[in-house]
Structure 1
Amino acid sequence: MRFPPHLTRIGSAAALLSALLVGGTVTASPATAAVGSVCQSDLPSQAHDTLALIEQGGPFPFAQDGTVFQNREGVLPRRSTGYYHEYTVITPGSDTRGARRVVTGEEPQEDYYTADHYATFDLIDHGC
C-alpha cells in the first residue's frame, strides 16, 4: 500500500523540532521567498476536497494524482527528486484537469496551492 507523503513525514518533523528546541535555526532557501501563503479557509471548496483525499490516501479522480512533481519552474524550494507530489484540484466546468493543484512536500503540512499551473504557489496555512 502506498501512503501519501503526509503520512510518512514524522522523521523530518522530529529533526526540525529537535533543531528548534536546542536553539538551532531554520533558514529558508532563496526560492521560499517567492512563495506566498494562504489560509486553508480561503481556498476553494475543491481544494478542501483534494486535501481530504490526500489525507485519506485516495481514491483520486485522475491517474496523474500523487505523481512526482518535478519543480521544473523552480518556484518551490529546491529539493531532491521525489520530494514533491502533485494532486488535481477540480475546476468546475473544465473539460480537462484545469490549472489548479495542491503540491505536497515531505514535511508535515507542507502543502502548496497553485491556481495558475505552477506559475505561483502559496504555502497553505492549516491553522487559519
Structure 2
Amino acid sequence: MLKAAAAKVYQTGLALMLGAAFALTSPAALAFKAPEAQLTVPGFEAIALDDLPRDGRTTYGRILKGGPFSSDKDGSVFGNRERILPRQSRGYYREYTVRTPVARNRGARRIVCGGREPQLPDACFYTGDHYNSFQQIVP
C-alpha cells in the first residue's frame, strides 16, 4: 500500500514537471507570466522603462496601479489589426494613452499591454508612431 502511494506521488510530480516544461516551450507560453518579471517576446526591440518618455513612465505606473488614466479610452481592447504584436485572442491586449504635450488630441504615443489581468501584464509595448512599430518595455 505504501509503495502504491509513493508511486502515485511520483507520477503526479512527473506529470506536473512535464506540464510545466510543455507550457514553457509551447506557443501557449505567451499566456504564462511569472509574477516577478514580464515575458520577453522575441523579435521586438527592447526599451528600458527608464528610457520611455516621462509621460510613458507615468502611464506605465498607472497601468500597474489600475489608474487613474488620462483618457476614457485607456484600458480599452486593442484589436492588433496591424498584426505586429503576437497573435492572441480578442481582449488579450489593452491600450493606454501616453500624453503628448503638444497634441490637441490623444496623440500618437501608446502603451499596449497583454495579459489576462490588466494590472499584471504578461508584456507591455510602447509605440511612438501610432501602432506602426512597437518596442517591448523592459521594467
Bin of the TM-score, shorter chain as denominator length: 0.7 to 0.9
Pairing of 1:25-36 with structure 2 (within 5 A): 25=25, 32-33=42-43, 35-36=44-45
CA distance in 2, matches of 1:105, 1:44: 20
Pairing of 1:13-28 with structure 2 (within 5 A): 18-19=20-21, 24-25=24-25
Structure 1 position 70 matched with structure 2 position 72 = no
Residue-by-residue CA offset, 1:52-109 (whole Å, 9 max, x unaligned): 1111111211111000000000000010000000000000111010000000001745
TM-score (norm 2): 0.67
* From 130, 135, 138, the counterpart of 1:117: 130
8 A contact 1:87–1:103 mirrored in 2: yes
Identity of aligned residues (%): 45
* From 42, 45, 49, the counterpart of 1:40: 49
CA RMSD in angstroms, aligned pairs only: 2.4
Hey, what does 2:113 align to over in structure 1?
104
CA distance in 1, matches of 2:124, 2:88: 14
For structure 1, the 5+ residue unaligned runs are 1-17
Hey, what does 1:50 align to over in structure 2?
59
TM-score (norm 1): 0.73
Give the 3 Å change call, closer, same or farther, for CA 109–46 of structure 1 in structure 2. farther
8 A contact 1:47–1:89 mirrored in 2: yes
Q: Higher relative CO (CA 8 A, sep ≥ 6), structure 1 or 2?
A: 1
For structure 2, the 5+ residue unaligned runs are 1-19, 31-40
- Structure of higher CA gyration radius: 2
CA distance in 2, matches of 1:109, 1:45: 22
Equivalenced residues, count: 105
8 A contact 1:68–1:86 mirrored in 2: yes
8 A contact 1:90–1:100 mirrored in 2: yes
